[in-house]
Structure 1
Amino acid sequence: MAASPLLPDDPEPSRRRFRTVVTILWSVAALVLTVSLIAGGDESSDAGAPPHAPPAVSSATSDASHAPSTPGAPHRSARAGAGPHLPRSRPVRLLIPRISVNAPFTDLAIGRSGQLEPPPPDNTNLVGWYAKGVSPGEAGTAIIAGHVDTATAPAVFAQLGEVKKGDRFHVVRADGRKATFVVDDTDSYAKDDFPSERVYGDTPDAQVRLITCAGAYDRQARDYTENLVVFAHLV
């Protein structure tokens, strides 16, 4: 998938046109959907080999152009049907009480391959967010990715599969606010049949996707066969 389209300095006049382009690009995004986050075990990677890439991010998540708004409590978007959301702000820390996650964030970007680059493999307690997309708490779909393990140890999302519908987790933001999300669903998808529109599709309310590896470990491919996705919305 090509890099995310450049946005104008003043996004509001072109928002409708951008949404139309996003819809057209869905078919393109589906073609470049490939493998997953770095996955581990002792045999997960050879010395010097590049890490496995996460699923390609659709251009629907690349709209980082939401105009900043006045600080305060979650408010309703001008977008029709939108739920409560917060202004744009960089995430600082992810807290998932159910699985005792307390992890800092790093920025993730689209690499030359057109895939989202994974978090660095040398830090097992680190999550990444697609920094050119929606920030957690902002209206739209925010993408947070983390390793299930590395070549040497379990990683931050090793127990993500234990998260249940109705659980709450939190994102501490640079603006000092803590965005709280409720889990709506969890699903695992084969990497060769990843539902890009369901996972990455733009949403009128503030939602988050937590993504990691899952399924059986393929020794020949040195990768897991599935991706686990947690769907959640801001409350």
Structure 2
Amino acid sequence: MKKPVKLKPNDLGMGIFVMVIVIIIIGSRVIFGREAFYNVFWIILAISALIHFVVLLRTKNWGHLIAMLFYLSIAATFFNLSFHRHHFLTLFFAASGFILFILFIYVMFTNRIKWRYTEILELAARPVDESDDGFSPRSFPAGEARYAKGEVIGFAKFLLKHVIAYPYFEENRVILVVPQNMFGHLLFLKRSYQKDTYISFDFNGNVSVHIAKKDYQKYKEELTFDRLCDSFGNLFREFLELYQRSESSKIIDRLNALRFI
């Protein structure tokens, strides 16, 4: 039996952003003509390629390499069209872009660069049916776990590579942030995690959870906060145990199983 979804429908933030970009591109063509359209288009694509290049360096996730090369090839195509460069190069970049587009679709379809924010929130809420107490801004002690310092650091790097969580490495603990928008952290636009949802693993084996109010409000109904935090901690302990047993692929499988998102 399919379990009911605990989260509210996704907000329209990303959709609105994409729509604004489309309006800018179309507007440049209508108002300023074809040359302006070419220039605006290749500049936007070049910026997209640069973003994926930075994320590639941060995560070591090859999916971003495909995305970067795709955007770069299409940007080069329109750059050549804009400045009337060599016809052969234009065809070469366009053909390369088509091939990379197919690979990019594969990357997107297999969720290789998909942020896992919604999946994490949903999985954490699945075991929670009570609604006794609402949100609390405090951090919640979520028990203990067995791990070596190197193991939890390696685990954090694995989660970063698969854009499941963004790690902050502190003197005595590792913080795993689950932000709605990962780019803020990946592109150095955001340097703190206090206003985000996160889980911490200190080097003495203690685990604590902090769920941000904005994330708690993503749920359709109030959930017992302590139970939600406890479930959040259990989820990441399970992920850590899978990582320790060299079964990291099962983490990805579990996230991919949530096809409703």
Normalised TM-score (structure 1): 0.25
Q: In proportion to residue count, which structure has more strand?
A: 1
Normalised TM-score (structure 2): 0.23
Q: In proportion to residue count, which structure has more helix?
A: 2
Q: Which structure exhibits the higher relative contact order, with contacts defined as CA atoms closer than 8 Å and separated by 6 or more residues? A: 1
Bigger radius of gyration: 2
